[in-house]
């Protein structure tokens, strides 16, 4: 390391010279000033170009100054730091924009009327109408999917953790992994192929089946992790008292991990609540209220968003409804997420970590 401590003679000579803490800000300011100068001088009218020039200049200045004062290695370190920060800021822009736009445009028409009325005969280009039918459809489809998917997922996880040894358990583990990666539209096509064979028309429960398929692997994975956290001493103590294994599982293992399991199920619900593709194929959408998931096409919140976007040919009223429905859906998913995390923290196993 170079020992030339030019600017900071007061400091210990054992450490190499370092730039003062405010130097990145100073360099950024300088780069910005020069960039504006270049931009004005060359007559570039795009502010984005000014920003890009400033960013490139900032990197060059940082490298040059740091290399001169602190040495090449420190200069590289500073470049890496800047790049990591830039990557972070770059990624934040679209994500913040997504949340901001959804909220700001969604609140325009989102009110009590919107939540308690359906589209009915309201034309796509007209204002009015709402998501009531879609909410009913979504709740019923997701609820039925949960009734099917969650028990199967939890039981499978219990099998894998408490009983599973040998080839069957290995096969189940492998195929749960495989199932996790199935695109939602393929799950929809699977149920569709069954419906084609039995010559059925779209109905809500068909969507539930596809959603249940998507839900199961998620529940299995999370429940498995939670059951593994239950300390073995608890099981052994219960078994040593002569309690049958199945009662040990039901009365000792599951109550200990119930918080984590609930969290996993709620996260899985949040995931399937936003699925559009299988619902599009199997439930079809319906502007009227249909309370029966076992007969006739139903509406669904994500599908409602898609249809308001794609069938409206650019009508502003429909776009407003799409944003409001998006906000409703995001709010639903986020509340589930936050509640799930809250439960996880509240009911976390006290020991075993």
Partner 1 sequence: MDISTQTTDASPPTPPPTEAERKRAARGATRPGDRIFLGLTRGSGILLLVIMAAMAVFLTYRASLAISKDHGNFLTTFEWNTNLNPPVFGIAVLAFGTVVSSIVAMVLAVPIAVAIALFLTHYAPRKLSGPIAYVIDLLAAVPSIVYGLWGALILVPHMQGLYGWLNDYFGWTGILSWEGGAPRAMLTVGILLAIMILPIITNVSREVFRQVPQMHEEAALALGATRWEVVRMAVLPFGRSGVISASMLGLGRALGETMAVATVLSPSYDIQASLLDPGGGTFAQNIASKFGEATEQGRDALIASGLVLFVITLVVNGAARAIIARRKEYSGANA
Site for partner 1 in 153-192 (CB under 8 A): 153, 155-156, 158-160, 162-164, 168-169, 171-172, 174-187, 189-190, 192
- Using CB under 8 A, which residues numbered 327 to 346 contact partner 1? 329-330, 333-334, 337-338
CB-nearer residue toward partner 1: 204 or 278: 278
Min dist CB 302 to partner 1, Å, is: 5
Report CA-CA distances (Å) from 243 to 228, 238, 248, 249, 250. Answer: 20, 6, 6, 10, 11
Min dist CB 41 to partner 1, Å, is: 20
Residue 236: closest CA among 212, 225, 222, 252: 252
Which listed residue (6, 42, 95, 240) binds partner 1 by CB under 8 A?
95
Residue 164 structure tokens: 């599973």
Which listed residue (35, 50, 69, 74) binds partner 1 by CB under 8 A?
74
Positive or negative, the CA dihedral 221, 223, 224, 226 is positive
Binding mask 1-40 for partner 1 (x = CB under 8 A): x---------------------------------------
CB-nearer residue toward partner 1: 123 or 171: 171
Residue 32 structure tokens: 């910005």
Which region holds residue 129: left if phi is over 0, alpha if psi is between -120 and 50, else beta?
A: left
Min dist CB 90 to partner 1, Å, is: 6
Min dist CB 21 to partner 1, Å, is: 14
CA-based R_g, the chain, Å: 29
Min dist CB 32 to partner 1, Å, is: 21
Q: How far apart are CA 323 and CA 312, in angstroms?
A: 13
Min dist CB 273 to partner 1, Å, is: 7
- 341 backbone dihedrals φ, ψ, rounded to 5°: -65, -35
Residue pair 212/149 in contact by the 8 Å Cβ criterion: yes
CB-nearer residue toward partner 1: 292 or 317: 317
Interaction of residue 57 with partner 1, rule CB under 8 A: no
Binding segment for partner 1 (CB under 8 A), chosen from 5-13, 251-259, 287-295, 320-328, is 320-328
Which listed residue (244, 251, 294, 345) binds partner 1 by CB under 8 A?
244
CB-nearer residue toward partner 1: 140 or 275: 275
Residue pair 288/120 in contact by the 8 Å Cβ criterion: yes
Which listed residue (249, 261, 265, 299) binds partner 1 by CB under 8 A?
249
Binding mask 253-292 for partner 1 (x = CB under 8 A): --------------x--xx-xxxxx--xx-----------
Q: How many CA atoms lie within 13 A of 176 on its CB side?
A: 24
Residue pair 262/342 in contact by the 8 Å Cβ criterion: no
DSSP code, position 291: -
Q: How far apart are CA 273 and CA 151, in angstroms?
A: 18
CB-nearer residue toward partner 1: 174 or 288: 174
Q: How far apart are CA 331 and CA 139, in angstroms?
A: 14
Min dist CB 196 to partner 1, Å, is: 6
Min dist CB 10 to partner 1, Å, is: 22
**Buried residues in 200-211 as b, exposed as e (16+ CB within 10 A):** eebbbbbbbbbb
Residue pair 199/211 in contact by the 8 Å Cβ criterion: no
Interaction of residue 245 with partner 1, rule CB under 8 A: yes
Which listed residue (118, 208, 263, 326) binds partner 1 by CB under 8 A?
326
Residue pair 262/256 in contact by the 8 Å Cβ criterion: no
């Amino acid at each position: 390391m170079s020992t030339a401590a030019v600017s900071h003679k007061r400091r210990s000579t054992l450490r190499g010279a370092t730039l003062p803490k405010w130097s990145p800000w100073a360099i950024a300011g300088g780069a910005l000033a020069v960039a504006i100068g270049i931009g004005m001088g060359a007559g570039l009218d795009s502010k984005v170009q000014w920003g890009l020039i400033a960013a490139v200049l900032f990197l060059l200045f940082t490298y040059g100054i740091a290399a001169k004062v602190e040495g090449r290695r420190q200069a590289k370190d500073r470049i890496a730091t800047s790049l990591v920060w830039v990557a972070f800021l770059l990624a934040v822009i679209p994500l913040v924009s997504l949340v901001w736009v959804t909220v700001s445009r969604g609140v325009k028409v989102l009110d009590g009327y919107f939540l308690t009325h359906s589209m009915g005969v309201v034309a796509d280009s007209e204002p009015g109408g709402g998501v009531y039918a879609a909410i009913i459809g979504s709740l019923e489809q997701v609820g039925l999917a949960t009734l099917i998917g969650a028990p199967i997922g939890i039981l499978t996880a219990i099998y894998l953790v408490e009983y599973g040894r040998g080839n069957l358990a290995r096969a189940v583990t492998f195929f749960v992994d495989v199932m996790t990666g199935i695109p939602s539209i393929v799950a929809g096509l699977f149920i569709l192929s069954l419906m084609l064979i039995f010559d059925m028309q779209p109905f809500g429960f068909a969507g539930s089946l596809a959603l249940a398929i998507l839900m199961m692997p998620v529940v299995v994975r999370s429940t498995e992790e939670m059951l593994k956290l239950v300390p073995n001493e608890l099981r052994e103590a219960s078994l040593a008292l002569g309690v049958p294994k199945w009662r040990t599982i039901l009365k000792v293992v599951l109550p200990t991990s119930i918080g984590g399991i609930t969290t996993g199920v709620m996260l899985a619900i949040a995931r399937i609540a936003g699925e559009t593709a299988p619902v599009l194929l199997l439930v079809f959408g319906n502007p009227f209220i249909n309370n029966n998931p076992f007969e006739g096409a139903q509406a669904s919140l994500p599908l409602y968003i898609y249809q308001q976007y794609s069938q409206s040919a650019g009508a502003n009223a429909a776009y407003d409804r799409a944003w409001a429905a998006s906000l409703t859906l995001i709010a639903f998913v986020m509340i589930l997420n936050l509640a799930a995390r809250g439960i996880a923290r509240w009911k976390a196993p006290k020991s075993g970590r």
